[in-house]
A and B are shown apart, each in its own frame.
Chain A
Amino acid sequence: MGKYDGMTAKRPVLELRRIIKSYPGVVALDGVDFTVYENEIVGLVGENGAGKSTLMKILIGLIQPDKGSYSLRGEPVTLRDPADAARLGVGMVFQEGSLVPNLSIMENLFLCHEIGFRRFGFLSKRAMRQAAYAALAPVKVGSDLEIAIADTTPAVRQMVEIARLLWLSRLYNHKNPVLILDEPTTVLTENERETLFSILDQIKNQASIVLISHRLQEIVENSDRVIILKDGKNVTELGAERASIPEIEKMMVGHSFETDRYREDEQVEPGNATLLRVQKLSKRGAFEPVDFSVRRGEIVSLVGLVGSGKEEVCRCITGLDKPDGGSIALGGKKLSPGSPSEAVRSGIGNIPIDRRSEGLALGMTLAENINLLVLDQLKVAGFISPALERKSAMRWIGECRIKSPSSSTVCANLSGGNQQKTVIAKWLSSRIQFLVLDHPTRGVDVGAKEEIYRLIRKLARDGVGMIVMCDTLEEDIGLCSRMLIMKDGRLVGEMACPPYKKPSPSEIIGLIV
């Protein structure tokens, strides 16, 4: 896939030279060079705080650099705003999407550029429909054009955004538009991911793509070149065939990972005491009766495809859903089903997959989120004591190594990794007995991942029992001491994962599918 062999005759489309951008107190970009050539896919990687987002904002004209030059197709340009950039053929597909939810696919495609479709002052729906089909063909979206964007899947939305950018650049007669995709695969299923990359490969013939992702596997597989940023500087640029994941990670973080990334040496053998006991738990339409137990300090991985029922099992354990039959008991005591507050009170914590909407109160500060569950213990004479609050918050910020300007930073302003650490800190401080972790390192950069594994090991050492569902099978295998395999709503297998004797992914995959 995508071979880039040094200096060929490919022309640069976009060139940033010696870009410097500072904010009060911090230099975000310190003399960064960035070039995008025609018809290529460039992967851009770096830790949070390495300067990726600042660079992107400059690329599309959201902010201006303090120093440095920006040229498109050989001409220096100054971009006033993203609309300007879109007109010049540089566009970005944001993670959250920028389509107006109540307008249809067709309307969003051409928003603010419908002039060409006017007939006698009115918009011709027929002309728009024709153009829409043409524009959507390369991204293979064939669904009903009149559906409101809010009713489509994230995959479709992304495709529509890509189509819009391509269409806009054709409208303004730019030959080789530059599309920047920010973490495009976070919200996609396995299938959709494959489709995306196959489409990108085809689009390469008429555009250049900058791919930003934490998933180094994807970057390596799909890019022609990989550019690594660290601390606001270019570290290096690798051709795809020379790029390997450990190599890239080393450059991103500045030190090499121990081969033992999951800290297997810290994996302890759990005691014999059964902590969580699930008996004949079932839910119509989701999963059939399952039985299993988790011991104190044990990390159990629950693996399976989407639809295997593993997410629903976890939702029942954390009280978000009510099971139709069976029981859940923690420390011998039966839990009343279907009540998240009851679950929390009994000592079951939940680190959800979508920390932004379910795990954190984004509008509240770091300290407030950490202390959320233990406010009772921070009272003096009946009222919450600010001093105790701060003390508790600082303690956990230190323990979990959360990087933030202060404990009163609003959580929305923290990076993904730090947000996740905050969620974990919240549970750590409340001394729960059992934790369900749903994709704990999703959207978290490499350095922060390391630290989260460290925290998970610490939790296990403290006797907390855990069920994890990870992003990759490797992560599942590496973290757990035991693996439960689900398929089509049934528990089909169990595998021990002792340290240094871990099964390989291929052994497991056969059971999953």
Chain B
Amino acid sequence: MPNNVTAKPSAHASGWLSISVAKGQRWLQRSGIGGQLLCLIIVTGLFAIGTRGKYLSRANLQVILSLTAIPAIIAIGLHQVVVLGGIDLSVEGIVALCVVFVGFLARNKFNSNDVGLWIIPIIAGIGCLAGVINGLLNTKLKIPSFISTLGMSWVLWGLAVFVSKGQTIPLLNNPLSGFVNGYVLGIPNLAVVAIVLLAVVQILQDRTRFGRYVYAIGGDEVLAAQAGVKLHQIKIIVFGIAGLFYGLSALFLAVQLDSAQAITGNNLLFPAVTAVAVGGVALTGGIGGAKNAALGALIVTALNDGLILLNVNPYAQEAANGFVLVVAVALTIDRKKLGFIK
């Protein structure tokens, strides 16, 4: 294999089509989503047959896309922390806090605030700030991300409950309502937002130095530092971006439900982690990109939607989710890195 000089591969092979096909094949192999796409096709096929085609109806596909959007956004935010080699368990806490802020700042029933569309940068900013704090705890105070993000989740969630006094804050005439619940060319707007965010992050990962450094840290933190990667800076930014994404999700959730509750964020963490693992992002770090996270979210939502359409016993649905998570992790982690499994 090594030690033989080969010329640069010729770009003028037999025709444009065959090059594209070959390139596509190599991309598929390399991008690491081949398995997931196959899984999606199989799942879709099974459900399509099982529901006699109703699964593939326009209404259902729209529902799947619309229900995937928010978990996908969260998964895209979360997976970058996982690529670094850490884990971010603060999703529910950050969402809780941001939702409560939406309740107080957007036009609502309890006070006369109305920040209009400024709510978007404000909430993004709050989420980002919370994420940055996560990053600082992890880098400057050297607290393992598992603990620091878990602690943050409880702190922020408690804060959200305290500030909102446990009340539900109904929203009134939110300017984003139309957007959040609307469609463009038949695709739910939120799904489009998710796709745009997916593209942005994917480009960041493939085409910028920053993205490269995130993978380096995930691959071997010590060696990356030796090569000159600024560990602390990168980690804090990654956590910050994750927090920002959670904030956006919180905003969309609140507008979707037209109400803000501290408990709105509950039960968001497990599907997000499942999505990240199912999509092929290794929990040991260094492997997997935004497309993996989004695809994972799509698979999980498609699975659950199918189970509902088939009227599968709700007890069994929970078990199915847990099973999928265990299998996904088993297939994707790099056991060499872990040494002994604890």
Once A111-B212, A121-B208 are accepted as A-B contacts, the answer to whether A100 and B2 lie under 8 Å apart by CB is: no
Contact B2 A153 (CB under 8 A): yes
Whether B165 is near chain A, meaning CB under 8 Å from some CB there, is: no
Asked if B3 and A195 make an inter-chain contact with CB atoms under 8 angstroms apart, the answer reads yes
Q: Could you say which of A141-149, A227-235, A274-282, A376-384 contacts chain B?
A: A141-149
Which residues of chain B are within 8 angstroms of A354 by Cβ–Cβ distance? none
Whether A98 contacts B212 by the Cβ 8 Å rule is no
Give the bracket for the number of chain A residues in contact with chain B: 35 or more
Chain B residues touching A, range: 20 to 34
Against A, the Cβ 8 Å flags (1 = close, 0 = not) of B199-215 are 00001000111001101
Q: Which residues of B contact A146 (CB under 8 A)?
A: 30
B2–A156 CB distance below 8 A: yes
Encoded as 1 (CB less than 8 Å from any A CB) or 0, chain B from 206 to 230 comes to 0111001101101110011011110
Residues of A contacting B1 with CB < 8 Å? 143, 152-153, 156
B3, B223, B286: the one within 8 Å of A155 (CB): B3
Bound Cα distance A113, B228 (Å) = 9
Nearest CB of chain A from residue B133's CB, rounded to whole Å: 27
Chain B residues near A98: list those with CB within 8 A. Answer: 223, 226-227
B14 within 8 A of A: no
Contact A111 B6 (CB under 8 A): no
Nearest to A129 among chain B residues (CB) is B8
A contact residues around B220 at 8 Å (CB): 100-102
Question: Measured between alpha carbons, how far is A67 from B223 in the docked complex, in Å?
Answer: 29
Nearest CB in chain B to that of A199: its residue: B3
1/0 contact string of B245-268 vs chain A (CB within 8 Å):
000000000000000000000000
Q: Which of B5, B8, B218, B227 contacts A83 (CB 8 A)?
A: B227
- Interface membership of B300, Cβ < 8 A: no
Q: How far is the CA of A101 from the CA of B223 in the complex (A)?
A: 9
Instruction: Give the shortest distance, in Å, between B237 (CB) and chain A (any CB).
Output: 16
In contact, A142 and B219 (Cβ under 8 angstroms)? no
- Write the chain B residue with the least CB distance to A160: B2
- A155 to B1 CA separation, bound complex (whole angstroms): 10
Chain A residues within an 8 Å CB radius of B287 = 102
Q: Is B311 an interface residue (CB 8 A)?
A: no
B219 close to A100 (CB less than 8 A): yes
- Assess whether B227 is in contact with A111, with CB atoms less than 8 Å apart: yes
Contact (Cβ within 8 A) A123 B227? no
A155 to B207, CA, bound (A): 29
A102 and B215 within 8 A (CB)? yes
The reply to whether A141 and B3 contact each other, CB–CB distance below 8 Å, is yes
- Shortest beta-carbon distance from B225 to chain A in Å: 9
Closest to B83 in A: A102
A445 within 8 A of partner (CB): no
Per-residue interface assignment for chain B, residues 13 to 41, with 1 indicating a CB less than 8 Å from any chain A CB and 0 otherwise:
00000000000000000100000000000
| A83–B229 CA distance with the chains assembled, in angstroms | 10
Residues in A99-119 with C-beta less than 8 Å from chain B: 99-103, 107, 111-115, 118
Q: Is B4 an interface residue (CB 8 A)?
A: yes
Neighbour of B216 across the interface among A100, A129, A130, A141, CB < 8 A? A100
Q: Is the CB of A142 within 8 A of B228?
A: no
Chain B contacts of A73 at CB under 8 A? none
Inter-chain CA distance A82–B224, complex, in Å, is 12
Among A147-186, those with CB < 8 Å from B are 152-153, 155-156, 159
- Does B228 lie within 8 Å of A83, measured CB to CB? yes
Bound Cα distance from A113 to B5, whole angstroms: 25
Among A107, A114, A122, A155, which residue has its beta carbon within 8 angstroms of that of B2? Answer: A155
Known A101-B220, A112-B227: A142·B5 in contact at CB below 8 Å: yes
Asked if A107 and B203 make an inter-chain contact with CB atoms under 8 angstroms apart, the answer reads: no
Give Cα A99 to B209, complex, Å: 16
Asked if B224 contacts A137 (CB within 8 A), the reply is no
User: Is A192 an interface residue when CB atoms closer than 8 A count as contact?
Assistant: yes
> B2 to A102, Cβ gap below 8 A?
no
Contact present for B224 and A100 (CB under 8 Å) = yes
Chain B residues lying within 8 Å of A156, measured Cβ to Cβ, are 1-2
Nearest-neighbor residue (CB-CB) of A195 within chain B? B3
Q: Are A111 and B229 in contact (CB under 8 A)?
A: yes
What chain A residues lie within 8 Å of B208 (beta carbons)?
Answer: 121-123
Chain A residues lying within 8 Å of B30, measured Cβ to Cβ, are 146
Mark out the residues of chain A between 361 and 415 whose CB falls within 8 Å of any chain B CB in the assembled complex: none
- CB neighbours (8 Å) of B223 from chain A are 98-100
Whole-angstrom distance from the CB of B293 to the nearest CB of chain A?
17
Contacts of B229 in A (CB 8 A): 111-112
Report Cα–Cα, A137/B286, bound state, in Å.
Answer: 28
A113 partner residues in chain B, CB cutoff 8 A: 228
Cα distance A159–B212 when bound, in Å? 21
By a CB distance below 8 angstroms, the chain A residues around B218 are 102
Would you list 26 pairs from A and B whose C-beta atoms are within 8 A, ordered by A residue? A83-B226, A83-B227, A99-B223, A100-B224, A100-B227, A101-B219, A101-B220, A102-B215, A102-B218, A102-B287, A103-B216, A111-B216, A111-B224, A111-B228, A112-B229, A113-B228, A114-B209, A115-B209, A123-B207, A123-B209, A141-B3, A142-B3, A143-B2, A146-B30, A153-B1, A159-B2
Binding site for B on A (CB under 8 A): 82-83, 98-103, 107, 111-115, 118, 121-123, 125, 129-130, 133, 137, 140-143, 146, 152-153, 155-156, 159, 192, 195
> Apart from A123-B208, A141-B3, A142-B5, what 8 extra A-B contacts exist at CB < 8 Å?
A99-B223, A111-B224, A141-B2, A143-B1, A143-B6, A155-B2, A155-B3, A192-B3
